Chains A and B, each alone.
Chain A
Amino acid sequence: MKSQLGSLAVAAGFAASVVGIAVLGVGLRRRDTRLLRLGGRFVPIVLVAALAAAGVMEWALVTHDFSLRYVAENGSRTTPLLYTVAGLWAALEGSILLWGLILSVHLTLLWAKHRRRIDDPLVGWAMLVGLAVAVFFFGLMLGPANPFHSLHGAVPADGRGPNPLLQNHPLMAVHPPMLYLGYVGFTVPFAFAIAALVTGRVGEGWLAETRRTTLLAWGFLTAGIVLGAWWSYEVLGWGGYFAWDPVENASLLPWLTATAFLHSLMVQERRGMLRVWNLSLLVATFSLTILGTFLTRSGVVASVHAFTRSSIGPALLGFLAVVSVVGVGLIAWRADRLASPSQISSPVSRDAAFLANNVVFGGLAFVVLLGTTFPLLAEAITGDQLSVGEPYFERMSAPLGIALLFLMAVAPNLPWRAAGRDVLRRRLARPAWFAAGTMLVLALAGATGVAQLAAFGLAAFALAAVVTQITTAVRARRHASVPRMGVVRAAVRTFTGNRRLYGGLVVHVGVVLVAVALAASQGYSTKREVSLARGESATVRGYRVTYLGTTARRTPQKTRIAATIDVHRGGARVATLRPALSIFPGATSAIGTPSVHTSPVRDVYLTLVSSPNEAGRITVGVFVNPMVMWLWLGGAVMVGGAVFAAWPDRRRARTRGPAAVGTPPAPAAPDRVLEGAPA
């Protein structure tokens, strides 16, 4: 019964999208406001259908209705509720359903925001494009990725349950939806970009419409990537957090192009430049989300995340081709209108810095894309298999990352158009000295590695520059106020007065934290394997680990062997850790669960490599990873900054009326305060 209900809901969503497109199309052609209104109303219907489909699936999962094939394959009676609910995104069909649901949420928000202006062709076209994407995903659910297939033959008493790796950490319940919220969120700016191209209104209007969605999608994607790294660190037990696995790269790729876009859109808003580039970045970002889905869901590349092979590959590939060809074709078609009215005037200006930023982000995306697809390319062309892994990606991305850190420190302090030498000195001299001092102190304190030290130095530079920028602005606001306001109040006013600028700077602080964490944990982590008998200890980088004993717990699902290990440092007890091995019946080999003691300076990360042998000895992997915690904190700060920047501004919301569509937004005052600041 649930199979029929679910299929019905999916079919309804598909039909509503198709009819919506038709009505909107006719309405746009005839410029008929009533038809456009009517067409728009199909968007919430799609949402209702998607909610119903997802609801039926959750209902089936929670009630263990194994007559559905998806539930029989991804649920089981012994799976805890959290992972049962998360079963919706534990396999291909469910994750497409989640994708469709999130897409319809985004589209409905878009519709709710703009439905009064549906007669504006820009809005009408954007909605049409959004619905077209929905048609594709609902179509997948009707065809090759149907989540509501019923099981042939007798209904089993119990299901297989999700992949063991997907059910031993709560992060698994959060990381995929976050990633999808981000991935799918880029549909909205993409839809507007296509709409702008179709209607020929390629000015700055469409940018203003999508800025907030883009920021939020970026924030979600950032959160998804960081949570994924955290999950990998806490669950996979290899001591690292990012392995440059094709799926991880697939999430990184749209993030890189979207980050480039978030920067270059400011150049377009301010100066009207980079129009082609911005449209291309959005088309690229959306295409890359589809490419990522294709790479990971079609079985073309092997990956830890890859679901089983399915027939969804050709459909995704075709969609990818259509999206990129339509996008690029439209850009080429509108090339004449895309010429920029102004040009970069000086190599030392914020415009030029943004341009450089975009070149580097583009380069990074290119390297990651090339590396990810290179094995495919090599095999197709030469027939030989080649690998592209961590060493390649690290070697190629490190210099680009360092260049980005430098730009991040400098760019926000550069004025638009051109910077005089005195401006540069006034704003950057102190941060530069601070950075150089930090580097020298660290080097003398024994920090090794040129790349590491450069990263630390540039991080200090960027941090000091942000702090200088903020304190200057807050001080200026205080001095300008009569009577003079308190520091806190001035700071709050400054921040809320220009959410985008200060939200952006907060994101930069997050990036600094992440950069430091990456450099330190990549450069200075220690890994040792020690063999211990009960009561024995070994010392790794000042940490003494003592093996106290093992406990074994048998459940129908798995046998879990955990070792109890005391960790001491300098005589003081740090933690008692319990790394474990779980053996799942029918699964390949044992799955290790690391046990981590996290602290601001360094993590102690233990894995149980092998359970007690005949002599009672166990093998323990001991990792000492410096500063990893700052990676998660930095990620949180980045997301916080993005949310702060995207938060609706009360003042602006009131002044921006319906008439603002298509006209350039009133130039906000990003750095009026700053530039007027007394030296």
Chain B
Amino acid sequence: MSPRRLAALGVVAVVLAGAALAATRLDATADYRATPLLGRLAPDAHVTTLDGRSVAVRDLAGRSVIVNFWNTWCTPCRREVPALETFWSRHHDDEDIVFVGVVRDDTEGAVQKWVDERRWDWTIAMDPGDRTALAFGTTGQPETFAIAPDGLVVGRRVGEASVDDLEHLLTLARGQ
């Protein structure tokens, strides 16, 4: 085989490999994306709840924590609402579970109105300066994290979560 044909073969191989590679990416959707936080202690972040309490994420250790980043204007967040409500209706009596909705990039007034209208009874907290969102390494909203009772981050869901996704995260957060 001449070097030229060999080179041609090489180019064809590279192109086909690239195409195959891209093809595998075609159905990649929002998912349980890796984060460097996985397996590490949750960030030392403080949020302020709508009723004015300051909550340190690390103080929640000992319980299973689901942290959901959201806001009132983002479309996938709105689509996620039924899943959140169903999920919490199943678990809000469980003392070992903490469900926190951290607001990204929204105004307190809009959030208060939203929460009142929907009678959300899980903890909703504002995040001025995006400090918590940055500490968790979020790339937008919605994003949901699972923190185990030992304080380690054990799961992350990027994008709209279904009830099953939330239950899956809770399973992880229970350390099972």
Which residues from chain A sit less than 8 Å from chain B, CB to CB? 276, 287, 294, 298-300, 313-314, 317-318, 320-321, 324-325, 328-329, 331-332, 335, 373, 376-377, 379-380, 383-385, 586, 588-589
Contacts and interface: CB of A to CB of B under 8 A. Distances in A.
B26 A329 contact: no
B19 A321 contact: yes
Contacts of B16: 321, 325
Interface residues of B, number: 24
B120 interface: no
Interface stretch (B6-14, B143-151, B162-170): B6-14
Given A313-B26, A332-B9, A588-B73, A324 B15 contact: yes
Given A376-B22, A380-B25, A588-B74, A325 B34 contact: no
A399 B33 CA distance: 37
A26 B166 CA distance: 62
Contact of B21 (A294, A299, A320, A376): A376
Best-buried of A328, A329, A385, A589 by chain B (most CB within 10 Å)? A328
B23 A314 contact: yes
Contacts of A300: 22, 25-26
Nearest to B9: A332
Q: Is the interface of A mostly helix, strand, loop or mixed?
A: helix
Contacts of B26: 298-300, 313-314, 317
A318 B26 CA distance: 13
A312 to B, nearest CB: 10
Given A321-B15, A325-B16, A589-B73, A276 B23 contact: no
- Shortest 3 CB-CB distances between A and B: which pairs? A332-B8, A324-B15, A335-B4
B176 interface: no
Given A380-B24, A383-B34, A373 B18 contact: yes
Given A321-B16, A324-B12, A276 B4 contact: yes
Given A314-B26, A376-B22, A325 B4 contact: no
Interface string B90-102: 0000000000000
A376 B23 CA distance: 11
Contacts of A276: 4
A106 to B, nearest CB: 25
Interface of B: 2, 4-5, 7-9, 11-12, 15-16, 18-19, 21-26, 33-34, 73-75, 105
Best-buried of B8, B22, B33 by chain A (most CB within 10 Å)? B22
Contacts of A385: 33-34
Contacts of B7: 332
A324 B11 contact: yes
Given A332-B5, A335-B4, A384-B34, A317 B22 contact: yes
Contacts of B34: 383-385
A376 B22 CA distance: 8
A76 to B, nearest CB: 18
Nearest to B2: A335
A12 B8 CA distance: 37
Contact of A377 (B5, B11, B21, B33): B21
A287 B18 CA distance: 13
A314 B16 CA distance: 13
Given A328-B12, A332-B9, 10 more contacts: A298-B22, A320-B15, A321-B19, A324-B11, A328-B11, A332-B5, A335-B2, A335-B5, A377-B21, A380-B25
B75 to A, nearest CB: 8
Contacts of A313: 22, 26
